[in-house]
Amino acid sequence: MGGKILEYEAKTIKNEGINQGLKEGLKEGHREGRLEMLFDLVRDNLLSLQEAISRAGLTEELFLKKMNEYKM
């Protein structure tokens, strides 16, 4: 009987881990998508670099690094 309880708890913990990973992955995906949108707006001259940096909440150095790494 104790084995079934432990097995159930292990499945619960595993499922919670999977759900947490999915949530974190979605958040990261949204952040990356937002940055890509800002990069595109800057490249299309629809948003100033300084405004995009401000909206991204990053340092100028980090924003430019990520922007240069971004592949359109």
Integer Cα distance of 52 and 39 in angstroms: 8
Tell me: the pLDDT tens digits for 4-23?
777 778 888 888 999 899 99
Tell me: the pLDDT tens digits for 50-70?
999 999 999 999 999 999 999
pTM (predicted TM-score):
0.73
Domain ranges of the chain: 2-69
